[in-house]
Amino acid sequence: MKKPGILIRGKSWLCGSLPLALAALALVATGCPSNQYIVQLKPQGNRIERTLVFYRQDGVDANTGAPNYKPFDTNELAAIAALYPAAGLTRQGERYLARGVFTNHTPADVGGAGAYANLTNSLGEAGFYAERFRGKDDLAGITEKRVQAAEQLADMILGWSRMELGGEPGYDKLRQFLDVDFRRDLKNLGAYWWEGRLTGAYSTNAGEEFAVRFGQYLCERGYFTLEEIPGLFSDVSGNDPQAIFGRIQRLVARKMGVPDAQPVPAPLAFLADEAKTEESFGKYLAGTKLYRAQLKQWEEDKILKPDLAQPDPMDLAKDALNTMIESGTFEQEDHLAVQLSLPSAPAHSNGRWDEALQQVIWDTGIEERDKAVQLPFTCYASWTRADEKFQKEHIGKVALTGDDLATYCLWRSSLDARRGGEWEAFLAGLQPGGGLVERIEAFRFSGEPAPAGTNVQQNIPSPSAWPRQLLKTALQ
C-alpha cells in the first residue's frame, strides 16, 4: 500500500537531489487504514479519570458516513488493556473503551508520557496537565542525521560528476560549486523543509512562507532567475520531465562557465535525456563502496531469504534524500483527539476551549506507534479555581485568582507540615476590615527573623516575605 510521503516529479534520484534548481518536489497523500484515539479526561481532585476510545478504520462509508471499521491490532490491544484495571476494558461493536483513574502520571496507552497534578488549599486550587504523544524529542540527533544524509547525497552527486565530466573544460568550477555551494544548499534544504513543516503544524501559512523563502534563497544563489519562474512553473505543473532535465543541463553548463547564449557542450547531452541520466547515475552508484557493501550484505541475507530482491543502486540516493527531508516525519496516519473537561476556561493551554462542551480540545494526526520520527504532539493546560467563600470570609474579597492563585498553590504545596499548619492557622484567624494589611505584614513563621526594627539580623531571607507581599498586592 502506498503511504503518504514524497512524490518526486520525474525520476526520484535527480529531482530529489536537484530540487534546489527546479523546486520540483510535491506532496501527495493517499488514504489508508488508520487508528483513531479519543482521550477523555475528567479531573477529580488529586486524581484524573481517563477514558480512551479507540478503533481502526479505513475511511468512511460513502452512503452513511459511518466508519469502515477494520480489526484492531491484537498486540496493541493487549498492551493498552494492561495499563487499565482488570475490568477497565470493554467493547462496543468495533470500538474499544478503556477507563481508569490515575494519580500523578497518565498511562502510555496511545504512546508517550504525561503528568497531572492538583494542588488544593484553603484559598483555592490549581490544576496542571501535560502529555506527550509518541514522537521523538532528540532534536540534536534528528539534525545530525539530516546533515549526514545531505553530505552523503552531495558526495554521490560530486562523484558522479567526476566520472562523467571530470576531464571537461570548466569542470573545476562545477566541482567547486558541487562541493561547497551545493553541499551547503542541500543542508539548508533539509533545514528549511523541517522548519516549514514543523511550524506549519502551529501556523496556517507557515509552510507556504518557508517554501517562498527557500525559493528566494535558490534564486539569490543562481539556481534560476526571476524571468525563468513562469517557465519553471509550467514545466513542474505540467509534469514534463524532459523540460525539467533540460533546465538541469543548462544549470550544469552555467556552473561550468558556459554562457547561456552559447550551445550546451556535447558531453552534457546525456543530462537532457531522463533515461540516459538515470542510467549514468545508476552506473556510478553501482560502483561505490556503499553499494558494494550493501550488495555483500544482500548476498549473505538471501541464504536465509532466497526471495529477497537485490538492492537497487538508485535506492542509495533515494534513501539519503528521504532521510534529509525526513519524508517519514509527515506520515501522520493515526488520529488523536484529547478532550479535557474543566469547570471554566484554562488560564494557559495550547488547546481550543469549547464553551458549550466545557472542554479543552486537541485534535491532530500522529505518526504510527512504531515510527518515532517526528517531534511529539504535546498537550498542556493549567487552570485555577478560587475558594470564594473562604477568601471573602477571611480577606474580604476574592483576591487571588488566575496566575497569582496558581503560583500561590505551588508555594503552599512546598511547605512542610509545621509551616503549612502555621500558615493555615494564620489565614483562618484573619478577618476583613481595618488592620488586615498590618496583620499580614506582621506574620512570621516560627524561627524566622522578626519584623524590621528589632535586634534580629535582617539579612536572613524571610520565607514568609513572598506570600505576605502577594496577599498585600492582591488586597490593594
Identify which of 44, 120, 117 has the alpha carbon closest to the alpha carbon of residue 424.
120
Per-residue pLDDT at 459 exceeds 80: no
Identify which of 414, 346, 354 has the alpha carbon closest to the alpha carbon of residue 384.
346
> Would you say the pTM of this structure is higher than 0.75?
no
pLDDT of residue 212: 76
Q: 34: part of which helix (H) or strand (E)?
A: strand 34-44
Q: Which residue has the higher pLDDT, 372 or 453?
A: 372
pLDDT of residue 239: 65
The b-or-e profile of 345-358 (16+ CB within 10 A means b, else e) is ebbebebebeeeee
Instruction: Give pLDDT tens digits for 234-243.
Output: 666 666 677 8
Instruction: Give pLDDT tens digits for 314-372.
Output: 999 999 988 887 644 445 589 999 999 999 999 999 999 999 999 999 999 888 888 77
User: Lowest-pLDDT range, 53-67, 138-152, 201-215?
Assistant: 201-215
Residue 9's pLDDT band, with cuts at 50, 70 and 90, is very low
pLDDT of residue 361: 97
Structure letter (DSSP) for residue 180? I
Instruction: Give pLDDT tens digits for 413-437.
Output: 999 999 999 999 999 999 998 899 9
The rounded distance, in Å, linking the Cα atoms of 385 and 401 is: 7
Per-residue pLDDT at 23 exceeds 70: no
Instruction: Give pLDDT tens digits for 220-265.
Output: 888 877 777 677 666 666 666 778 888 889 999 999 999 999 999 9
Residue 453's pLDDT band, with cuts at 50, 70 and 90, is low
The rounded distance, in Å, linking the Cα atoms of 379 and 394 is: 37
pLDDT of residue 317: 92
pLDDT of residue 209: 75
Residue 65's pLDDT band, with cuts at 50, 70 and 90, is confident
pLDDT of residue 360: 97
3-state secondary structure of 92: strand
Instruction: Give pLDDT tens digits for 130-189.
Output: 999 998 888 888 889 889 999 999 999 999 999 999 999 999 999 999 999 999 999 998
Instruction: Give pLDDT tens digits for 68-124.
Output: 999 999 999 999 999 999 999 999 999 999 999 999 999 999 999 999 999 999 999
pLDDT of residue 204: 59
Per-residue pLDDT at 27 exceeds 60: no
User: What is the chain's mean pLDDT, rounded?
Assistant: 86
Q: Which residue has the higher pLDDT, 195 or 52?
A: 52
- pLDDT above 70 covers a percentage of the chain that reads 85
**Cβ-Cβ contacts under 8 Å for 358 (sequence gap 6 or more):** 341, 342, 343, 344
- pLDDT above 90 covers a percentage of the chain that reads 63
Cell 532567475 sits on residue: 225
Average pLDDT over residues 438-463: 74
Residue type for 11, please?
A: K
pLDDT of residue 18: 44
Q: Where are the alpha helices (DSSP H) in 39-101?
A: 74-81
Average pLDDT over residues 267-287: 93
Q: Where are the domains of the chain?
A: 5-20+139-328, 34-136+331-384, 388-475
pLDDT of residue 198: 72
Estimate to the nearest angstrom the gap between the alpha carbon of 127 and the chain centroid. Answer: 25
pLDDT of residue 28: 29
